Structure 1
């Protein structure tokens, strides 16, 4: 999330979304070919992958990239990483994954922990301050609304993966869904942002190239491949709850490697987040017994 925010000045939202998907999808397919994983062989498999690409590729990454232009990386991360709430509800309805009292307690606790970790104290303090005019209020609401749509797209994609994996190899399906989901984003980027893109790319730096490589290979190819491989096999509620840990690791990394300070609010948020993941993990074990 932070890397994408840093890349934003030297690219455009939809171009960044497509660049994050298409090369990562190619990398996953090369990995799958090395392991001799089978390619989709039926019409049903390609239909499943295409729908997966629309929801989790084009919609998720498109809403995410656009939303980041209108909100901070921290607040955006809180909204995105709240998607385990939707996953838990859909998994209970569609897959019969039972939520125990531990699960019901852990999910909102995780969202609260994320909020304490990522939303700065100044924003909490100003929540009751001067009211915004209508235009400013609409602009302030646009970013979180887009991020919420991105979170719901990711949640539905997580739920879809078990169905997609019944039609095709999960790693191959993930690779193809990234390519197919990235192509319409690339077309939209050329149509909407093509005039502005060359000037921004000229201003790009070597550090931007490294950030893009990180976002593509680790932030997309590796993370998507592992996440959806596990989603095709295990308890998706417990798996998706691990996204609660993302902001916590970011804060810890900044403290260890960059000398950033952790406030009492962030430490409390980290503790609540760890507790939430533990509760949801225990929920997953109880529901399997």
Structure 2
């Protein structure tokens, strides 16, 4: 497999996640958000398990394996997808995707703490730029008054945030970050692809069954276009994307992989504009630019570090920058 195809496969989950947000948003007016989450998970999980069986992947057969899979199902299945669908019903597809993709910073911090993954000065710079980028995309023009008048923060009705989709999306981001971290120890007990399939089924069943007990049934008002959108979100936005993402999460550097999720809002905002009429302000466009720069910095941080060391800078400036970087990293230990 060529390097180009490997990169395309690595990026594919984030493209499908972004476009699946748009597909799910179009279905929201006709059914329950939690039921959409269940439909997205359970059939996709069964499909992943079917592929795993066809490939001869071993099924979990120990109590430890099922324990980790159950925890994974609770955090990354039930909580993440439930919070995501609830938040998406209260906000736009592009904005919702942006808020969810604040999770790479949490992944970097947890990976540093639990797995001693080195982020480095360039990595932290990239993560902070990415966080600033998604903040600019999420807040848009509302960000400018907050920067010019810090007292404006006092006028924000924090008690009403539970009614806002942004908070639900941030909680979903935290759930996804924890789920990403869980995949590494889980992979010691079960095959990553098999674990991905089971966690989708176990985490999605409550989301599928609970709304189905209500009257009218959550599928009563669906249209054929909704069925196609749900099929896309299930097949590409869940089955294929989850399988690829957690396969790489079990084997690769979590910080670098997670940082690619900054691509998801770019795809979601682009297709949200095309299909849902969502528009971007100048501040949001600046945020997209910062997001793309952050992806490059994080994934090329080792190359950038070598380039920095080779620059003909004054010795005092180089030593000062290096000592600051070391100090920051030591404080994060």
Counterpart in 1 of 2:211? 189
| CA–CA separation in structure 2 for the residues paired with 1:61 and 1:112 | 25
| CA–CA separation in structure 2 for the residues paired with 1:177 and 1:260 | 33
Cα distance change of structure 1 residues 239 and 129 upon mapping to structure 2, 3 Å threshold: closer
Q: Structure 1: 5+ residue runs without aligned partners?
A: none
Structure 1 SS opposite 2:300:
helix
What is the TM-score of this pair, normalised by structure 1?
0.86
TM superposition shift of 1:222? 0.6
Counterpart in 2 of 1:16? 36
TM superposition shift of 1:75? 2.8
TM superposition shift of 1:265? 3.9
Counterpart in 1 of 2:106? 86
Matches within 5 A, 1:132-147: 138=160, 142-147=164-169
Cα RMSD after superposing both structures: 2.8
Q: Structure 2: 5+ residue runs without aligned partners?
A: 1-20, 147-151, 306-333
TM superposition shift of 1:70? 2.4
Residue in structure 1 matching 2:201, options 179, 196, 205: 179
TM superposition shift of 1:250? 3.3
- Of 37-46 and 225-234, the range deviating more from structure 2: 37-46
* Contact 2:100/2:169 (8 A) holds in 1: yes
Residue in structure 2 matching 1:235, options 248, 253, 263: 253
The higher radius of gyration belongs to: 2
What is the TM-score of this pair, normalised by structure 2?
0.76
| CA–CA separation in structure 1 for the residues paired with 2:241 and 2:153 | 40
Structure 2 SS opposite 1:167:
coil
TM superposition shift of 1:210? 0.8
Counterpart in 1 of 2:96? 76
Aligned length in residues: 280
1:44 aligned onto 2:64: yes
C-alpha distance after superposition, 1:66-93 (max 9, x if no partner): 1222233333222200000110000001
Structure 1 SS opposite 2:251:
coil
